[in-house]
Amino acid sequence: MKRTAFAVVVAFAALGLLVSLALESRPLPVEVHVAQYTIVSDLERISQDFRALVTALRAAWDEMQPPGEGARALLARVSSQPQQLPQSLFELRGNASQEARLHNSFDGFSGTLNDASKLADELLTDQTEYTAAVTFIRESGARVIQQMRDRNLDRAAADTFQLVVGTLDFAGTRPSVQESELRRLLVTLGRDQRVDEMPEDVVRLRSSIETILAKKDAIRSKLEQLGNTPVVAYGTSLGAAAQDLYRIAVARVDQARLMLAVYAVVLLLAVGFVAFRLHGSYREINRANSELAELNESLEQRVSERTNELAGTLSDLKESQVQLVQAEKMSSLGQLVAGISHEINTPLLYLANNAELIQERVGLMRQFISACVAAFSIKSEEFQDRAEYQAKFVHALKDVKLMLRDEDLEASILEAEDLARDSIAGLGELTEMAQSLKDFSRLDRAPVASFDVNAGLDKTLLIAKNIIKHKANVNKFYGEIPEIQCSPSQINQVFLNIITNASQAIESFGEIAITTRVHDANHVGIRISDTGCGIPEENLSKIRDPFFTTKEVGTGTGLGLSIVDEIIRSHHGQLLVESQVGKGSVFTIVLPIKSVAMAAANAATEAAFAEPADEQLAEAV
């Protein structure tokens, strides 16, 4: 069995390895090879577009021109490039470090490129606003100054002129005017309330100047930050990681193909070896089949011999069980023989005395009848003289009268009638006891029959009367219970064993109470309690064990309660035991009203009540 299981495991393992190598040796998809050759050019194109975008933004800044649509197109193309990289390359499988390197490089490249795109977009917006402000100042500055002069705001016009000239100089690549000076002029111009009444161009002029002052340093810093963004470096790292993973994948496929070829050779050799072994096994099986065929010829005889041997063993086992149960039954009967003989001897002596008295009375009656017969047998034909006949007849009648008077025959007849009635009563007692013994031992040998529990208890008490009467008063509390289907002789044995144990447990004189009642709809309950010494708690779990006894050596077999428990369980009943040391014990027997598979129960214990026991009982009585 173990070799078969091992062979199955090895076969599955070989099959699994073959499938694994076959899957590993599959060629890489064409898309992977194409992606490998295109990803380098895609990354190079992204780097070129990014450098062109940075150059365009710097050129527009240096020339004070808006970036234009070209820069916006470059930005859009750079932003969309990561999503256009071939995804099949990222589905390749390598070792954990190579896969982590590829994904980390891609995440770093995508994150850096996205940050650079956002920064470039901000630069496009800022530069567009910045150049628009410079253009407005160049084109509208003179007109605004002239409008101030037309309103006689010469001082404000002079300040505005300085502010416009200084702002344009500040917006150049090499400014000579400080930002603080320009902000001072803006504050001075804002204090003149008349300026606020000027047309909208003055407000727009001031807003443009503030835009230039606020955004110049920010745009210069963002341009520098954008130029230093390592997009190209991350792209190079991503390309190298993709190349390494691709090379590992190709090497793995080649290695798997090589291992598959080697494994195929090994597998063929293994199959050849297995075929050789199978051929040898086939020859062994043929030889074994021949031997089995020879053995089968004598199998029936061997099975028959073995069956007979087992049957003999079973018979011996049953005989041993019969002897054990019979020993317990004879032990119970032995305890009852003395009492039963006494109960039988007393009526017998009484009957013998009555018989002697009746015999004496019968003798008197015989004499009286003889006298009457003699008197009335005198015939007149036998006498010639009638006077002699009358004298003879009168003399005979006088003898009868004297006998009636002297022997008191009337009182003797009455006494004989009384003695006969007493003798009949004694015979009735003997008949009842004999019937009880018969019911106890056999009860007509009915295996399963209707049984009156209350009557069975009464007959058991009658049998055990001599044991109980000197030890306890028996209180009977019989309820109205239906007859049950059981083996009556076995149930009588149960009652006798428990009642006998109860009387033996009472040291001096006590009480035994017997209660019968309906336990539930399908069971009756018999409760037998005593006021004896009780059973220690440590022995309660042992009292049902065969040969366990607390009695002295020679006074008990230890099978009483074991047989009781076996009989009750064979009747599908229960034996419940409650006990308290010093206060007594309570045995509750629960039996089904209707028989449940009693055939098996009788087969198990029928030997306990066999014919030899009845013969020994009769001999003991």
Say which CATH number the domain at 583 has: 3.30.565.10
pLDDT higher than 70, residue 548: no
612 or 96: whose pLDDT is higher? 96
Task: Confirm if 558 and 531 have CB atoms less than 8 A apart.
Answer: no
Can you read off the two tokens belonging to residue 106? 């891609």
Q: What's the sign of the alpha-carbon dihedral 253, 256, 260, 261? A: positive
Instruction: Report how far residue 471's alpha carbon sits from residue 437's, in angstroms, rounded to the nearest whole number.
Output: 22
* Within a domain: 539: yes
CATH of residue 168's domain is 1.20.58
403 is a domain residue:
yes
Domain boundary among 237, 258, 279: 258
Question: Does the pLDDT of residue 295 top 80, yes or no?
Answer: no
> What confidence tier does 347 reach under pLDDT thresholds 50, 70, 90?
low
- Domain housing 496: 446-620
440 belongs to a structural domain: no
Rounded mean pLDDT, 89-95: 63
Q: What percent of the chain has pLDDT over 90?
A: 8
| Rounded average pLDDT over 596-611 | 46
Residue type present at position 255: Q
pLDDT grade, residue 585 (50/70/90)? very high
Q: What distance in Å separates the CA atoms of residue 163 and residue 157, rounded to the nearest whole number?
A: 10
- Whether 270 shows a pLDDT value over 90: the answer reads no
- 429 & 458 share domain: no
The average confidence (pLDDT) of the chain is: 76
Does the residue 373 lie in any domain? Answer: yes
For residues 380 and 493, state if they share a domain.
no
* Same-domain pairing of 114 and 202: yes
Residue 440, phi then psi, degrees to nearest 5: -65, -45
Highest mean pLDDT among 60-69, 121-130, 385-394, 544-553: 121-130
Looking at residue 599, its pLDDT comes to 43
Q: How many Cβ atoms are within 10 Å of 535's Cβ, its own excluded?
A: 20
Specify the higher pLDDT residue, 59 or 614.
59
Do 233 and 156 fall into the same domain? yes
What is the rounded distance in angstroms from the CA atom of residue 208 to the CA atom of residue 205? 5
Check pLDDT > 90 for residue 525.
yes
Structure confidence at residue 556 (pLDDT): 53
Asked if the structure places residue 54 within a domain, the reply is yes
478 with 411, same domain? no
The residue from 214, 235, 258 where one domain ends is 258
In whole angstroms, how large is the CA radius of gyration of the chain?
65
Q: How far apart are the first and last CA of the chain?
A: 66
CA 371, chain centre distance (Å): 101
> What is the C-alpha separation between 602 and 621, in angstroms, rounded?
27
pLDDT of residue 591 exceeding 50, the answer is yes
My answer on whether 416 and 481 are in the same domain is no
For the chain, the 3-state helix, strand and coil shares in percent, each to the nearest 5, are: 75, 10, 15
486 and 601 both lie in a single domain: yes
User: In this structure, are 27 and 53 located in the same domain?
Assistant: yes
Asked whether residue 271 is domain-assigned, the answer is no
Clarify whether residues 362 and 492 are in a common domain.
Answer: no
Number of domains in the chain: 3
**Which amino acid is located at 397 in the chain?**
L
Q: From CA 232, how far away is CA 4, in angstroms rounded?
A: 63
Q: Are 524 and 453 in contact (CB under 8 A)?
A: yes
215 vs 128, 132, 184, 208, 401, CA distance in Å?
Answer: 11, 12, 18, 11, 176
Overall average pLDDT of the 427-443 stretch: 62
- Do 550 and 415 lie in a common domain? no
The reported pLDDT for the residue numbered 335 is 56
Neighbours of 204 (CB within 10 A): 15
CB 482 within 8 A of CB 524: yes
Assess if residue 173 is contained within a domain: yes
Burial class (CB in 10 A: 0-12, 13-18, 19+), 334: exposed
C-beta separation of 189 from 148 below 8 A = no
Quick check: helix, strand or coil at residue 256?
helix
Same domain, 236 and 335: no
Residue-by-residue DSSP string for 46-84: HHHHHHHHHHHHHHHHHTT---HHHHHHHHHHHHHTGGG
The whole-angstrom separation of Cα 517 and Cα 585 is: 19
CA distance 235 to 239: 6
pLDDT at 474: 92
How many contiguous H segments (helices) and E segments (strands) does the chain have? 19, 7
User: So what's the pLDDT on residue 523?
Assistant: 93
Q: How far apart are CA 286 and CA 559, in angstroms?
A: 58
Residue 242 burial (10 A CB sphere; 0-12, 13-18, 19+): buried
Instruction: Provide the pLDDT for residue 559.
Output: 60
- How far, in whole angstroms, is CA 350 from its chain's centroid? 72
Question: What mean pLDDT is predicted for residues 448-459?
Answer: 88
Residue 519 lies in a domain: yes
Q: Which residue has the tokens 């089968």?
A: 296
State which of 32-46, 290-304, 358-372, 567-581 shows the largest mean pLDDT.
567-581
Q: Are residues 413 and 526 in the same domain?
A: no
Of 433, 467, 491, which residue constitutes the final position of a domain?
433
Hey, CA dihedral for 610, 613, 618, 621, is it positive or negative? negative
Distance from C-alpha of 94 to C-alpha of 252, rounded to nearest angstrom: 8
pLDDT score for 330: 57
Q: Give the percent of the chain with pLDDT over 70.
A: 76
* Strand pairing class (510-520; 472-477): parallel
Give backbone dihedrals phi and psi of 475, rounded to 5 degrees, phi first.
Answer: -110, 120
Torsion of CA 256, 261, 262, 268, to 10 degrees: 140
